[in-house]
Amino acid sequence: MIAESTPMPISRESQSGSPAATRGTPARHAAVTALVALDTGRTTVQQAIDHADREFARGSPLSVDDRALLHELVNGVLRHRLFLDWALQQVAREQPYTRQALLRQILRVGAYQLLLLKRIPAYAAVDQSVELAKARLGPKSAPLVNALLRNLSARRHDWAMPELLRQPVEHISINYSHPPWLVKRWLKRYGVQRTIALCRANNEPAPLTIRVNRLKLDAQEFQRVLQEKGIEATLCAYAPAGLYVEHEGPVTALPGYGSGWFYVQDEASQLVPLLLAPKPGDTALDACAAPGGKATEIAELMEDRGTVTAVDRSPERLAVVEENCRRLGVTIVRTVAADATRRLPMIGPDGEPERYDRILVDAPCSGLGVLRRHPEGKWIKTARSIHDSARTASAILSNVIPLLRPGGVLVYSTCSTEPEENEEVVAAFLERHRNVRLEHPGPLLPAAAATLLTREGYLSTVLKGGRMDGFFAARMIKERGP
């Protein structure tokens, strides 16, 4: 835990800087453009980066180094945005970076390089930011950017944080760049030390985790393949088909990608279909299926025998599911464009309403358990997002339960940390549907995963150590109709 009077630890640098970063003006241009787009909340990080990359590629794709710097700058600013704004305020007489979107992002990108990317010399960070301001805002903006960033570099050891014991919300929010409303929630539930641990973990880059395709080979076999190619790979502690892979390049360059030997999926996410425990020949429904990670894992567990109905309301996202199935060699997944928050009149081959042996509801949620992968979520989610997601999840559960056969299994999961979206949704659902009961999933998981199960029998990976995202899941059994 950071001592209450300790200033911001400037040595908390990124581990992925590039020696070519000082030449990366196109990457900086693209980063600023992507960050401005992300401020609207209407695009994802990857979409914003891809669009900005195309805009500033100058007729050819960005170099590998520039592309890496682009990702570093965008994700770094998003992870540490609140601290960067606070630091800039320490050296500004007013807040020009809060009034003009483009100027605000130029200063954030410059401050991130100065304070958190030690591999980029201070003079380069300042000079490139000044040139960026000239190009994007005109020469009149250059003196302001130059003065603020030079002052920031000179005074970065002089300021003091709000004290942890006296102002815990302010200290943690600024020091670890999380919105105050969220820090308040976590402090109430977890206390100071665990809240800091959670915020710190959210600011770490997520590892590359893959699920090995059981239809083609097992995790140990693929681990040997990677190691023979000089690629370090470690078996996951809990997910039997999972590997952590040390790889800097595009995932498509890994051996076996085109042959469908693996799918990129977090270890916690890989555990959810194990709770469903589908068998060959089953009928299964994935009610919120895109992009297809869990649907294809369900098919693999079924040995590609039976049927998996993958539902999503977006035909474009269902096309991604279909492409993933083709690459992995999965043949039993059929896609259906439908909104699971409304009635799902699934019609079987005999013309009768479909009934399923297994149903997975991996519900749309606040995503507060995957902030390390989606740092923009810290700045676009609100307390209302949690309650809205809980209502959506409850509607989906009520809509799918009539489609489950008596004796069938329903698994509900989220990538949220919040009880309103997790335990409270399950409790309310069980209260409304007395023919459904909660079942402890311990026997279905590897023995090591016992530490991930709560006393009630929920799967919860939040603050459980390891390298996983924060997931929640519950296994339920329908005892009788309807």
| pLDDT score of 160 | 87
Burial (Cβ within 10 Å: 0-12, 13-18, ≥19) of residue 127: middle
DSSP-derived secondary structure for 442-481: GGGS-GGGGGGB-TTS-EE-TT--TT----EEEEEEE-S-
| pLDDT score of 351 | 54
Question: 78 and 378 in contact (C-beta within 8 Å)?
Answer: yes
Sheet holding 262-264, edge to edge: 233-235, 242-245, 208-212, 262-264
| pLDDT score of 357 | 97
Please state, in angstroms and rounded to a whole number, the distance separating the CA atoms of residues 412 and 64.
Answer: 40
Please state, in angstroms and rounded to a whole number, the distance separating the CA atoms of residues 285 and 357.
Answer: 8
Q: Name residue 308's beta-bridge partners.
A: 284, 333
Residue 78 neighbours by CB distance under 10 Å: 23
SS3 83: helix
| pLDDT score of 170 | 97
| pLDDT score of 344 | 76
Please state, in angstroms and rounded to a whole number, the distance separating the CA atoms of residues 124 and 151.
Answer: 15
Which residues lie closer than 8 Å to 272 by C-beta, 6 or more apart? Answer: 294, 360, 362, 411, 413, 459, 471, 473
The answer to whether 415 is a known catalytic residue is: yes
Q: Report the candidate in 1, 366, 292 with the shortest Cα–Cα distance to residue 164.
A: 1
Q: Which amino acid is at 460?
A: S
| pLDDT score of 348 | 61
Please state, in angstroms and rounded to a whole number, the distance separating the CA atoms of residues 146 and 125.
Answer: 10
| pLDDT score of 349 | 60
Per-residue pLDDT of the chain (482 residues; tens, 9 = 90+): 333 222 233 333 333 333 333 334 788 999 999 999 998 777 888 888 888 877 766 566 778 888 889 999 999 999 999 999 999 999 886 555 556 889 999 999 999 999 999 889 999 999 999 999 999 999 999 999 999 999 999 988 888 889 999 999 999 999 999 999 999 999 999 999 999 999 999 999 999 999 999 999 999 999 999 999 999 999 999 999 999 999 988 899 999 999 999 999 999 999 999 999 999 999 999 999 999 999 999 999 999 999 999 999 999 999 999 999 999 999 999 999 999 998 776 666 655 567 999 999 999 999 999 999 999 999 999 999 999 999 999 999 999 999 999 999 999 999 999 999 999 999 999 999 999 999 999 999 999 999 999 999 999 999 987 799 999 999 999 997 76
| pLDDT score of 52 | 83
Backbone angles phi, psi at 110, to 5 degrees: -65, -45
pTM of the model: 0.90
Please state, in angstroms and rounded to a whole number, the distance separating the CA atoms of residues 73 and 481.
Answer: 54
Question: 79 and 69 in contact (C-beta within 8 Å)?
Answer: no
| pLDDT score of 18 | 37
Sorted by where each starts, the structural domains of the chain and their CATH numbers stand as 19-161 (1.10.940.10), 210-232+247-264 (no CATH), 267-478 (3.40.50.150)
Q: The tokens of 140 are what? A: 């009149």
Please state, in angstroms and rounded to a whole number, the distance separating the CA atoms of residues 29 and 168.
Answer: 36
| pLDDT score of 1 | 31
Please identify which of the residues 236, 288, 325, 415 carries the catalytic annotation: 415
Please state, in angstroms and rounded to a whole number, the distance separating the CA atoms of residues 76 and 129.
Answer: 16
